[in-house]
Chain A
Amino acid sequence: MNMKEYSRQGDEAGSAETAVTLSVNGEMHQLRISPNVVLLDALRDRLGLTGTKKGCDHGQCGACTVHLDGQAINSCLKLAVMCEGHEVTTVEGLANDAGLHPVQQAFLEHDAYQCGFCTPGQMMSATALLEDERIGTDDAAVREAMSGNICRCGAYKNILAAIQTARGQGQAAPTAGKTS
């Protein structure tokens, strides 16, 4: 396990920083952050994990979707300090040494993106829904389940095709909960 220490300049004015340990893609990170730092900004600005994107900062677009213990969440709506003791998986945790995750591979083959900015969020929602037995396997169910992820480029048709292709291609659970 690789421990990294990050910290920001202390606040002379006294806004308290809190120590928090985040487990991201199987790696532990110790941070000192103020309590109002959301998980999204902790990942991007503190840990340099910039694959997770910010589209709205308000839980309205889905670009920031990550997994928390295998569940898709909007990381802009989650305070980082609340994530201690949980396993965070980001887009950087999808591929492994064997290559791209089946969902990534299917996105590549189906051209399921244009600008690529919504794409990490789309794929994190997709990997979660493929593991979620409550969500039907037909196109309408997938469209409904993916409706929290806006794609302004409008690549929805190809996103749907990619998800349905990845289904049943031995889509392994992402590294959530596992240590690499």
Chain B
Amino acid sequence: MDTQVIGHRTPRVDGEFKLTGRADYTVDWQAQNMLYGYPVPASIAHGTLEKLHLDTARAMPGVVDIFHHGHFPKLYRSPNSPTHQDQVSEVRLPFEDERIHYDGQYIALVVAESFEQARAAAHAVHADYRRESGAIASLLDTDREGRLLASEGASRGDPEKAFDEAPVKIDHTYHIAAESHMQMEVHATLAEWRDERLIVHESSQGVVYQHKAMARIFGLPDESVEVVSHYIGSGFGNKLFMWPHAVATAGAAQMLGRPVKTILSRQQDMESGGNRPASRQRLRLAADPDGRLVSMRHDSTTETSFVHRYVDSLGSATPSLYACDNVAISQRLLEVHHGTPCPMRAPGETSGIHALETALDELAVELEMDPLELRRRNYADQDPASELPWSSKHLDDCYTSAAKRFGWERRDPAPGAMRDGDEIIGWGMATASWPALRMPCAARVELRDDGSVMAACGTQDIGTGTYTIVAQTVAELSGVPLKDIEVRLGESTLPAGPLSGGSMVTATALPAVAAALRNAFDALKEVATGEGGAFEGSDPESLEIEGGALKDDQGKRVSFGEMLTQQKLGSVNGEGQAAPGDEKGQYSFRSFGAHFVEVRWDPGISRLRVARVVSSIDIGRAINPSAARNQVEGSIVMGIGMALTEKLDYDPRDARLINNNYADYIVPCHADMPEIGVELLDNPDYAFNEFGARGVGEIGLTGIAAAIGNAVYHATGKRIRDLPITLEKVMDT
């Protein structure tokens, strides 16, 4: 497709709002007569709440009410069904009973006239608990294995026999600490009841899901709920499904008859607003002497909480990534006493690919083979799991291009052999991959008499650039300039759109927007060729769209706006739907890429830095290459944190979270930045959708921590199998 706007670098259409402070994030909303909610978190992780001492807090200035078990509306649980889109992050309702399942679980919600008053009163609430011993702080602190999940297993061939008979093998176990999303805007809800209707502003990656869940929980018809999320201070998975603070806030607003806004503190957000679960993974790989994989076994355990079952599917990529006849994956789930985990950017596969790509590096060492060569020798020309051809796979080009730009051929394989002054240089690489997902979606487009176009879809822009790519799509197909295109997202009353997750919005929403636009064109042509129309009597099929106008084969042109104005019409509308079709049974859809990393280790002062990252990623077509590249660069930054510093530290004695803030939970800052060179290949995947895009939000995070860890091994000769690779591990092991 020869394009004018799609595939071209486009400044964000919402940029000016964000840059001038006018973008309306949830935390920015105020309502008439609004109150502030402030949750009171439990200060134990395992036990029972015996008594709440509320008298002091109740008497404090501005306090309107304090909600808790026994003083809260009776609500229903949400069915929590992905199919019916009422999934929630925690099925347990707030204040449902007096059991405490994790540190930070809400035991009360203080509501007051001002934020300061609510906070002060919340701090004045005291609780008596009956503590129970035996709290499980983390999977990292226990030998418990958890229960095996039949739903997550897969196998082909006879991996055990092949392993036993193979000449070269490795068998290692890898741990990854729980991580926090640390999205910059904490979870926040503003709930308001108007004429029995519940209107919720939520910093959400899924307004449709929250809408349905709220309706089920409050026993309302779907028509009586509305969820709004125009701008989201990011969410890396933890805002996909609603958390209990939103229910507590909506319940409080209902009982008080006034709007209530609750903004979690950073501490609460980290304790009870989701995390990437810690994991334990055993990888058993075997190869023949030429480095061909003959057996892969990937056995994982992840955490969930005692109040919700969340499964991070760690092994899902493993059967598809490399050609190997004998493969088995299994997964176990262990309940722990900390806040409920949830998806975090490239959930499951980020952890799974980390272990697999580290294990492959270990196998390459055993084989005395270049780790890139090992991957090439096991290249999967079709999807070995489904045995379907790939819709479009260019991983070999990614390897070649990234290796060349990095200078990989100059690598001396001996650990510690490459030096620069006091620093030891380590080079490592890994494969990146994420499935291409697409869901059904609806959209609406309005062509207006002033020549502008409005496109609406009930999905969200979490910072990935959805507003802009929707506008680009409309501009491309209509010829209307971007400045005359309005995009509306983030309202659950708009035509239903997808979650901002799974890197699926681009492939899901754009075809629906295009379908709606084409229907709007048809409506316009009907007007144009009808009585009194500019093209009265012409065959609608003969009219073409060009530059915001209709055109016939005689060269006559009438702009959309002119046409509507002539007919005294304000607008014409088109609704459109799009969904994946039977291509699903014909191809396997997945994106691939390669990361090459240089680390520098200065043993004299024990300094470990990521110095350089070179990545080539194939995501099909990038609709907006600048925003797409930004996604991959941001993923690399997050991967540096995962590899080197990020760890939620739960106290093994009582399972309480120790580092619940930005100073003690260390995310990469500006001074940590390496040189980053990201290349996006441009191979449109038209088997997947008409725009050839597979999505880009997550793939960059997969493999990056493994590439860093492999580089650390190459620099130091030390294989750190537990993330994060903190300095003491490099120094001691």
List, in ascending order, chain B residues with CB within 8 A of A116's CB.
14, 17-19, 23, 231, 233, 463
Q: Is the CB of B662 within 8 A of A156?
A: no
Residues in A82-127 with C-beta less than 8 Å from chain B: 90-92, 94-95, 100, 104, 107-109, 111, 113-120, 123
Q: Is the CB of B266 within 8 A of A104?
A: no
Q: For residue B36, which residue of chain A has the nearest CB? A: A45
The answer, yes or no, to whether A170 is at the interface (CB within 8 Å) is no
Known: A45-B30, A95-B19, A116-B14; 12 extra A-B contacts, CB below 8 A, are A8-B114, A41-B115, A55-B266, A91-B21, A95-B20, A107-B19, A111-B11, A114-B634, A115-B233, A120-B21, A150-B669, A152-B234
Which B residues have a C-beta under 8 Å from some C-beta of A? 11-12, 14-25, 27-28, 30, 59-62, 113-116, 120, 181-186, 231-234, 236, 263, 265-266, 462-465, 626-627, 630-631, 633-638, 661-663, 667-671, 673, 676
Answer whether A51 and B22 are a contact pair too, CB < 8 Å, given A9-B62, A117-B233, A153-B184. yes
User: With the chains together, A119 CA to B21 CA distance in Å?
Assistant: 9
Measured CB to CB, the closest approach of chain B to A120, in angstroms, equals: 5
List, in ascending order, chain A residues with CB within 8 A of B120's CB.
36
For this complex, 15 residue pairs linking A to B, each with C-beta atoms less than 8 Å apart, are: A13-B60, A44-B28, A60-B266, A92-B20, A107-B15, A108-B15, A114-B630, A143-B671, A143-B673, A150-B667, A152-B181, A152-B182, A152-B234, A154-B636, A154-B638
List, in ascending order, chain B residues with CB within 8 A of A155's CB.
630, 633-634
Residues in A147-174 with C-beta less than 8 Å from chain B: 147-160
Which A residues have a C-beta under 8 Å from some C-beta of B? 8-9, 11-15, 34, 36-37, 41, 44-45, 48-58, 60-61, 63, 90-92, 94-95, 100, 104, 107-109, 111, 113-120, 123, 143-144, 146-160
Q: Is the CB of B265 within 8 A of A114?
A: no
List, in ascending order, chain A residues with CB within 8 A of B265's CB.
57
User: With the chains together, A115 CA to B637 CA distance in Å?
Assistant: 15
Answer whether A9 and B15 are a contact pair too, CB < 8 Å, given A143-B673, A152-B667. no
Measured CB to CB, the closest approach of chain A to B13, in angstroms, equals: 11
User: With the chains together, A58 CA to B660 CA distance in Å?
Assistant: 12
List, in ascending order, chain A residues with CB within 8 A of B21's CB.
49-52, 90-92, 120
Q: Is the CB of B463 within 8 A of A60?
A: no
List, in ascending order, chain B residues with CB within 8 A of A147's CB.
669-671
Q: Is the CB of B11 within 8 A of A157?
A: no
Answer whether A115 and B28 are a contact pair too, CB < 8 Å, given A52-B21, A155-B630. no
Answer whether A115 and B661 are a contact pair too, CB < 8 Å, given A120-B21, A143-B673. no
Measured CB to CB, the closest approach of chain B to A40, in angstroms, equals: 10
Q: Is the CB of A146 within 8 A of B670?
A: yes
User: With the chains together, A108 CA to B465 CA distance in Å?
Assistant: 13
List, in ascending order, chain A residues with CB within 8 A of B115's CB.
41, 45
Q: Is the CB of A60 within 8 A of B464?
A: no
List, in ascending order, chain A residues with CB within 8 A of B667's CB.
150, 152
User: With the chains together, A15 CA to B63 CA distance in Å?
Assistant: 13
Measured CB to CB, the closest approach of chain A to B357, in angstroms, equals: 21
Q: For residue A113, which residue of chain B has the nearest CB? A: B18
Q: Is the CB of B234 within 8 A of A117?
A: yes
Q: Is the CB of B662 within 8 A of A56?
A: yes
Q: Is the CB of B673 within 8 A of A156?
A: yes
Measured CB to CB, the closest approach of chain A to B75, in angstroms, equals: 29
